[in-house]
Structure 1
Amino acid sequence: MGKVVLARVDSRLIHGQVATNVSKSVGANALFVVDDVSAHDEFTKNIILGAASRTGYKIRVLKEDGAIRYWQDRQYDDFNVMLITKSIEVMHKIIKGGVPVENLNLGGIPQSPGTTPVISQVAITQAQLDLLVDLQTCYPNMNIFFQATPSLKKVTLAEAVKLFS
């Protein structure tokens, strides 16, 4: 049976930091990108597969429902998976769909109107914070944290909640 060693929300999906520092720090041997747009677009999918192919990891580009089905049907085989989505909303859907996650890392969400910065690389809306709090409530042992790379300071969900008070 496989395991999600880290779930990460990063708007850039796979990039240098993810492919090297973050994935190695958690012992991943597979990177599963979950993004409906990328999974439906062969050009984008091929760019992701090509960029990640140099890592030596097993790479999959999955649709949102496909990520849930793959877990239900095969428990991600024997892979130690780093699961990557562009948004909190998609990650919430996957986790609520039954994919077990112990560690959820918010690592790269650019600031935009209506967002509040939690760390310099991550800014979220109140609605996104509510989804994270929902996950923490439903899965109290889940470690939800904000951190761009393993060498930087972690900010907990509890600390992020205070920023919105």
Structure 2
Amino acid sequence: MGKVVLARVDSRLIHGQVATNVSKSAGANALFVADDLSANDEFTKNIIMGAGSRTGYKIRVLKEDGAIRYWEDRQYDDFNVMLITKSIEIMHKIIKGGVPVENLNLGGLPQVPGATPIISEVAINKAQLDLLVDLQNTYPNMNIYFQATPSLKKVMLADAIKLFS
């Protein structure tokens, strides 16, 4: 049976930091991207597969519902998976769909109008905060934190909530 060793929200999906520092620190041997747009676009899918192939890890580009079905059907085989989505909304859907996650890392969401910076690499809005709080309330043992790379300081969800008060 496989395991999600780290779930990460990063708008860039697979890039240098994810492919090297973050995935190794998490103990991953597979990178699964769950993103409908990427899975349905052969060009984008090939770019992701190419970027990931240099890691030596198993790479899969799945539709969002496919990430849930793969867990239901095969529990991600024997892989230690780093599951990556572009948005909190997609990650919320996958976790609520039954994919078990112990560690949720928010590592790359750019500043956009209406978003509050949590760390320099991550900004979220109130609706996204509410989704994270929903996950924390539903799965109280889930470790939800903001951190771009393992060498940088972690900001826990409880501290991020204070920025919206």
State the TM-score, normalized to the length of structure 1: 1.00
Partner of 1:109 in structure 2? 109
Asked if 1:55 is matched to 2:55, the reply is yes
Task: For residue 141 of structure 2, give the secondary structure of its aligned residue in structure 1.
Answer: coil
Partner of 1:74 in structure 2? 74
- State the 1:51 CA deviation: 1.1
Task: For residue 151 of structure 1, give the secondary structure of its aligned residue in structure 2.
Answer: coil
Partner of 2:144 in structure 1? 144
Which one-letter code corresponds to 1:75 in the other structure? Q
- State the 1:69 CA deviation: 0.1
Task: For residue 100 of structure 2, give the secondary structure of its aligned residue in structure 1.
Answer: coil
Moved over 2 A (4+): none
Asked if 1:31 is matched to 2:37, the reply is no
Partner Cα distance (2:114, 2:130) in 1: 14
Task: For residue 148 of structure 1, give the secondary structure of its aligned residue in structure 2.
Answer: coil
Partner Cα distance (2:101, 2:147) in 1: 17
Partner Cα distance (1:140, 1:14) in 2: 28
Task: For residue 48 of structure 1, give the secondary structure of its aligned residue in structure 2.
Answer: helix
Gaps (5+ residues) in structure 2? Answer: none
Partner of 1:118 in structure 2? 118
Asked if 1:155 is matched to 2:124, the reply is no
Partner Cα distance (1:97, 1:76) in 2: 14
Partner Cα distance (2:50, 2:26) in 1: 22
Partner Cα distance (2:156, 2:13) in 1: 22
Which one-letter code corresponds to 1:80 in the other structure? N
Deviations 1:59-92 (A, max 9, x none): 0000000000000000000000000000000000
Q: Percent identity?
A: 87
Partner Cα distance (1:51, 1:17) in 2: 11
Partner of 1:128 in structure 2? 128
State the TM-score, normalized to the length of structure 2: 1.00
Asked if 1:9 is matched to 2:1, the reply is no
Which one-letter code corresponds to 2:125 in the other structure? T
Task: For residue 13 of structure 1, give the secondary structure of its aligned residue in structure 2.
Answer: coil
- State the 1:15 CA deviation: 0.2
